[in-house]
Every structure is written in structure tokens, then in C-alpha cells.
Structure 1
């Protein structure tokens, strides 16, 4: 049941998955330098800060439509086009002279990410089924997390020389194009469901898809507290070294990578609803630890627990959301799931900042932990009902 990572098709899909996290994190270390470079531009501080969320906003807008085009015109063609444009639009920021032009290039980058995520998720569902699909989804999350760590470290090093150099990291994507040409095809997994199962797929697949999308949205709304609020929280409790906030965020990413590697084995033992339960409980415990945190070690522990949840939740709900989707709707379905991820990311800073202003950090983390326990119950119930239904259909 193990996935052969040396298989060109598998390796290609995993490498492409690293590009999806590159859109946001890569230029983060360059923002102070860019703000200084464009200090004479009207509203420069606001526009520079918008460089990070702009791709996510355009993913939200375009993911459903590009999911549909992946179904209509083919996943392979969309991946090739999106990868080429991704590398050009991303690297363009190194040479564009105006801040507005860079923002436009970032918007195009977001559209490309939407095209990549929807087509890749659909292809994974086409190529793999059952336990192998769960294992691959876990590996995809691991590659994304590891890629995020490598890109942010490399970008930080380059930003010390010039704020424009991190943009060139996006050009790495062009190296994947020959591998895509050689290894990716439109061949779908030849899985023939029973008549009852096929009838359910054709008529009732939307309900579990929407349920998983809502849970993914809620998860990201809470998880994005890590990069958006924890650095400010650390300053509040007296940890002012920026490198330590980077280590705390890195711990969350590292634990997400480690836990996602074991997702396939864990889901085989305790089922998807069992994974949902322990995932959200881990997040809730992380919130409780942060609510009581007064030292760097306790912050690291809380962030690590949040990362464990991330490593399990993403492959779990992506797999279950796509489980009953007919093959000709998988692109559209992956577009819906992709939008839910980025809507959660986009909304998170607004809701968390408002609540922190009213409650303070400690009470806010307790509230977030209680909300995550609700997600544990909702996620477990949703996936248990879906698993029982699928068992009855077999």
C-alpha cells in the first residue's frame, strides 16, 4: 500500500504541492525592505502589507471556476499553464518598478495557485483510492510543510542581501514543467463503484463536500492564529526576540510535516472520525497551553500541538470531502475545498484581532480552545455518519 516516491507521477505531484505554500510565505522576510524601498509611495505601508494576502484572496475568488475548467479541459493542461505563469508572475516582482505592478503580479500568482491546487487535488483523487489516497494526501501535506520551511529560510537569507531577491525563488517552478510533461496524464483511477454507490455519488456528493469544507474553513480560521497573533502574544509576555517567534511558527510547521507523514497509518487504525477527534483535541490543548503560557518553552509546546492538528486535519478532510465526488466533478469539488482553506486564512486575522482587543490573549485562547472542542465533536460526528453510509453502500 505504500506510495513509491520515486515514481515520476507521485514525485511530480508532491513537488507541485510545495508551490502552493510558496505564494504567501516566500516574500514575508522581504516586507520590511520593500516598505523601505517604496517609502515615498502613497499608502506604501498598507500596499506592502497587502502583498501577502493578495494571492489568498484571488485563490478564493478563482478556485471554484478553475476547478470547473480542470474538469472541462483537463487537469494536465491546467497544471502546465499554471506552473509556467506561476514562475513568471512570481519572479516578476524582482524586476517590476511600481508597487501597484507588483500587487498585480501577486494577484496573477494567486490565480495560478488556485489552478494548481484544484487540478492537483483532482488528479490525486483520480490516480489513487482507498488507503493509498489517504497516504498520499498525508505525504502531500508533509511536502507542503517542508517546502514552506525551506522557502522561508531561503527567503530570509536572500532578503538580507536585497528585498527583491526572494522573488526569484518563484522561478524554481519552471524546472517542474519537463517533469509534468513526462509524468502527468489524464488517466483516471479505474474504480468502478456499485450501482447504489454511483447513484449516491451522482446525487448526494455535495452534502459531505460542504460539511468538510466548513470544517476546513473553521480549522484554518483557528490555526492561522499561529502566524498572525502568536508573535504579538510573545512580545506581550516579554519574549521580544524576533528569531524566537520564527522558531515558534517553525515548530508548528515542523510538527504538521511530521504528523502528516503518519496520517495514512493512523487513519487505517482509528478511521477518519477518530483522526478528526484527536486532531482537534490536540489543537484545543495547544490553545489551553498558550492561554497559560509565560515562557518560550510553553509557547513552543502550544504551537507544536497546533501543528499536529494541521498535519492531520488537512489530509483527513480533503480526502473525505473528495471521497464521493464523481470523477467529472472532482476539479470543481477541489475548488470548493481550496476556497474554504483560503477564506479561513483571510478571515482569521480579523476575527482574532477583534476578540483579542475585547478579551485579551489568555481568555481569547481559552475561547478558541472551547470552539475547537466543538469542532472535534462536529468533525467526529460528520465523518462517522459518512463512513457508516459508505459501509452500507458497499
Structure 2
């Protein structure tokens, strides 16, 4: 493949990745939508922000089956087409039930191609280029979420219909992907991806799923509780808390950019490093009594989580033992942990009867600190086992 075509292939995949984190872009529109539909209960209006995630998880469960029947590229095209139609449909929709249906369809469309993007990257790129591209994919996801949310927030000042023009990014993504990403037949896929999992693969996958759930739950709790912590501690406002989320997003984008180089330098040791970064970040937030230190803590959290999650995706696909289903399971657990995180935080508060929110962040410090030690020990043990196996053979 020529360098120019290879660059366009990578750009096409990354541009589609922009869409995957854009579903929450209209979350800030809820007050405006509530006024636009005064006869609809607020709880139903708020469902517009959560229903995409539910249908995303539903689509993840069946995307592999669809891909086997119509092909990986065609499934991605189908998903992106659905997000384009569903994302832009509210420009002319005036009935609430149709708006709800469009949000469900948007989430379903994202779920169709979300896990397949990693499989496509794993097929076309190898070694450091693969890990680097997965890192860039993570960056484009974060950048897309910020960009689409910002555009929607500006356009909603005109009216709520106009805010959905933010999803016009789906159109060039669809065109470029159709033009520059080659078809992958089932024969090509199986020649590059093992059809049978290696011994111990199920155990490794189960461990990765559990790790993902724990890390993402703690990470999401941080994002949910920071605004309340800052206001209740008396050193910040809701507006100041938005700077923390911005810092988190910027850190995530930086983390995605440097992941390829970090992984090349550290290999699997990037996992305990990411846990350590998040432990430090949570400690900074727990100790903070100023907005900017908390913003910095959010920034470090973003860097850490974007070293962790690309590593997870790379690990599932790195040895040719992964599959669309494995990647889909990781993404389902990721979304499930995020959806349950408000209730997880509430459970932690009730069990421990905290009078303020600082102890939650210290619990996060403990979780990430423990994971730093545990993952480091496991990597060291596995490294010694491989060395001994080579000596014996």
C-alpha cells in the first residue's frame, strides 16, 4: 500500500473514531429541550442523554454477527450512515418521540462500528504502528467529544434544532471511510486473526474485563463527584468544575497522542504506570483546596486513563487472539461501568457514611495504588516465567 493511501486509510479510520464519543454532545441542551417540550416530564427528557448508551451496548452484542454476514467495512458504513441520518434528523424533527427514536438510532449506529474500528486497525497495522494508531484513535475520540460538544453548545443559543448541526462531521467521515478503507473478506480476516483463542485466553479476557470495570468505575466517580466536592469545600463553583472536565479532556488527548511512544518504551509496564498516574491524580484532588490544583489533577487523570484503555484494547488484539466479540465485551463493560458509576458512588457513601466527599477520592487513591502494585507484580512474574520457559526450551 502506497504511503499516501496508507495515510488516508489511517485518517479515514480516525475520523470515524471522532463520532464514537459524540453522543453526549447534546447533554447540555437538556434545559432548552425541557422548555421546548413542556408537556414531557423532565425525567423523559433526560433519557435523551442515556438512551444512546443503552442501544450502543445492544448493537455491540450483535455487530460481530452482522459483520460476518455483510463484511466488516459494510457494517461500519451501515453504522456511520445510521449515525449521520439519526444525528442530523433532529434538524427537522418536532415531535419528542421521534427525537427519542433518533437518539436511540444514533447510539445503535455507534455500537455497530465501535468495536470494529479496533479490529480494522489490528488488521492493517502491526507492532508499534498498531499501538500508536490505537492511541491516536483514543485521542480522536476525546477530541471529537470536546469539539462536537462545544459546537452544539454554541449552536443551541440559536435554537435546539440548530445544535444538531454538530453531527455534520458524520458526513465526511462516511465519505472518506467508503473511499479509502479496503474491504476485508472473511478469508483475509481469518488469515490475520487467529480463529481459535490461545490457551488461557478466556482467563486473560476475564481479568481484563474485571480490571476495566474497576478502573472505569473509579475514573467515572471522579468526574461525577468533582463538581460537588469543589462547591461543598468552598473553593470552586460549577463553572470552575467545568475547567476540571476540560483539563481531563486535554489530558486524555495528550495521553492518546503519546501512548504509542510510551508503549514502545515501557511495553506492558505502561499498565502500572497508568495506575500510578491515576493514584497521584486522585491524591492531588483529595488534597486540593484550589481550583487549579484540582484542574491539574483532572489533567493527570486524563493522561493516565488514556494510557490504560488503549493498552486494554491493544492487549485484546495484539497477539492475533482477539476478536470482534472480545473488543465488544471490553466496550460493553466500559459503558456499563460508566452507567453504574453514580450508583457505585452512592453505595460507597452509604456503606462508609461519609460526611463529605474527600474520603471517596482517598478510596480511589487506595484502589489505583493497589492496582499499581498488583499489576507490577503480575508483569514481573509473567516476565520471569517467560525467561524460564525459554531457558528450558
Moved more, 281-290 or 75-84: 281-290
Q: Is the 8 A contact 1:4 1:10 kept in 2?
A: no
**What CA distance in whole angstroms lies between the structure 2 residues aligned with 1:96 and 1:383?**
53
**Which residue does 1:377 correspond to in 2?**
373
Residue 60 of structure 2: which of 50, 59, 63 is its match? Answer: 63
The answer on whether the counterparts of 1:289 and 1:299 sit within 8 Å (CA) in structure 2 is: yes
2:276 aligns with one of 272, 275, 281: 281
Report 1:32-47 matches (<5 A). 32-41=31-40, 44-47=41-44
Residues 1:309 and 2:304 are matched in the alignment: yes
| Secondary structure, aligned partner of 2:281 | helix
Deviations 1:173-197 (A, max 9, x none): 022222122111234589879xxxx
Instruction: Please name the residue that 1:352 is paired with.
Output: 345
- State the shift of 1:340 in Å: 1.5
Deviations 1:251-271 (A, max 9, x none): 011011112211111111221
Cα distance, 1:220 vs. partner?
1.5
| Displacement of 1:333 | 1.7
Contact between 2:229 and 2:358, CA under 8 Å: does it hold in 1? Answer: no
- CA gap of 1:56–1:212, structure 2 versus 1, over 3 A, is same
TM-score, normalised with respect to structure 1: 0.88
Q: Give the corresponding residue for 1:138.
A: 135
Gaps of 5+ in 2: none
Q: CA deviation at 1:72?
A: 4.5
Q: Is the 8 A contact 2:5 2:180 kept in 1?
A: no
Give the equivalent residue in structure 2 for 1:50.
47
Distance (whole Å) between structure 2 residues aligned to residue 6 and residue 123 of structure 1: 13
Distance 2:69 2:374 in 1: 34
Is residue 294 from structure 1 mapped to residue 293 from structure 2 by the alignment?
A: no
Is 1:321 equivalent to 2:320 in the alignment?
no
Deviation at 1:145, TM superposition (A): 1.4
Q: Name the count of aligned residue pairs.
A: 382
- Contact 2:235–2:289 (Cα < 8 Å) also in 1: no
- Deviation, structure 1 residue 172: 2.4
CA deviations over 1:226-250 (Å, ceiling 9, x no partner): 4322222222123554432221101
Residues 1-394 of structure 1: pairs in structure 2 closer than 5 A: 7-24=7-24, 26-41=25-40, 44-187=41-184, 201-239=197-235, 241-272=237-268, 274-326=269-321, 330-356=323-349, 358-359=353-354, 360-381=356-377
Structure 2 counterpart SS, 1:169? helix
Counterparts in 2 of 1:76 and 1:53: CA distance versus 1, 3 Å: same
For residues 67-94 of structure 1, what are the alpha-carbon distances to aligned partners after superposition, in whole Å with 9 as ceiling and x for unaligned?
A: 3332443210011111111011122233
- Partner Cα distance (1:53, 1:36) in 2: 19
Mapped to 2, the partners of 1:388 and 1:63 lie a distance apart of 37
Give me the whole-angstrom Cα distance separating, in 2, the residues matched to 1:278 and 1:155.
Answer: 35
Q: 1:210 to 1:94 in 2, by over 3 A?
A: farther
Secondary structure of the 1:201 match is coil
Q: CA deviation at 1:343?
A: 0.9
Range that drifts further, 236-245 or 360-369: 236-245
Q: Structure 1 CA distance, aligned partners of 2:225 and 2:323?
A: 35
CA spacing shift, 1:210–1:292, aligned 2, 3 Å? same
CA deviations 1:257-288 (Å, max 9, x no partner) are 1122111111112212x111111111112212
| TM-score normalised over the length of structure 2 | 0.88
Would you say the 8 A contact 2:222–2:361 is kept in 1?
no
Q: Go from structure 1 to structure 2 and tell me whether the alpha carbon gap of 1:281 and 1:116 turns closer, same or farther (over 3 Å shift).
A: same
